[in-house]
Structure formats: structure tokens, C-alpha cells
Amino acid sequence: MLVAAAWRLGQTRGEMRDAASEAARAASLRQHPSAATGAAERVAVATLGRRQVRCSALDVQTDVRALRPGGSVSVTIRCVTRLADLTLLRMPGSVTLEVTGTEVVDRRRGGT
């Protein structure tokens, strides 16, 4: 049971890492910080939904301080998930997973 839980935890973390990377890419294509933040959140939520990652609490933070050509955008996703949802077993408790994805803003696109 613990092996299955550890495997699923690693798989979920990988799915979240992919979602953070996709969200950072979407944000890096926007020119204004508010648009970048909105795009990152929409992509993160949609990607996690498609991958069936269940969060009882989800927080998406977008760092747009370097949103300019040649700069970068980082997206951090924090997900609190019940162990029962994560492992499909009746395990009590929950775990908080946090991942960050960073994308360089193309020198010819994006930025303020």
C-alpha cells in the first residue's frame, strides 16, 4: 500500500510540474502582467483537470516581475490533496504538493 501511495504521489507531482510549465509558457506569451497571471491560472486549472489531479485547495501564484523580452515568468502551483483521492485507497489525511515552472520570455514576444 505504501509503495502504491509513493508511486502515485510521484506521478501526481510530475503532472503538476507539467501543468506549471504549461502555465508559465502561457504567461510568457502575454504582454501585460494581469493577462499573464490570468492565462497562467486558466492553463494550470485546465491542465490539472485534464490530468485528473484533485485538489481540495489549489493556489496558483505567477511571478511576473521579469515579464519582459529576455526575462522569465515563474508559476508555482500548490495543491492540497487527500491521500484517499491520491492513492484511490482509504488512507486518512492529506498532503500538500508544491511545484514551480519557469519559462523564458521570447526576446521578440511578450513583455511589458
pTM greater than 0.75: yes
Q: Does residue 110 have a pLDDT over 80?
A: no
Residue 77 inside a domain? The answer is yes
Q: Tell me, yes or no, whether 111 lies in a domain.
A: no
CA dihedral 10, 15, 20, 24 (to 10 degrees): 140
Query: Is the residue at 51 inside a domain?
Result: yes
Number of domains in the chain: 1
Q: Give the domain extent around 8.
A: 2-104
What is the arithmetic mean of pLDDT over 28-55? Answer: 96
Predicted confidence band at 3 (pLDDT cuts at 50, 70, 90)? confident
Does any domain span residue 58? yes
Q: Is 61 inside any structural domain?
A: yes
Residue at 27 is within a domain: yes
Average pLDDT along the chain: 90
| 107/100: higher pLDDT | 100
Residue bearing the bigger pLDDT, 111 or 56: 56
Nearest to 93 by CA among 101, 83, 107, 103: 83
Per-residue pLDDT tens over the stretch 45-95: 999 999 999 999 999 999 999 999 999 999 999 999 888 776 667 778 889
Domain assignment present for residue 110? The answer is no
CB 66 within 8 A of CB 34: no
pLDDT of residue 85: 72
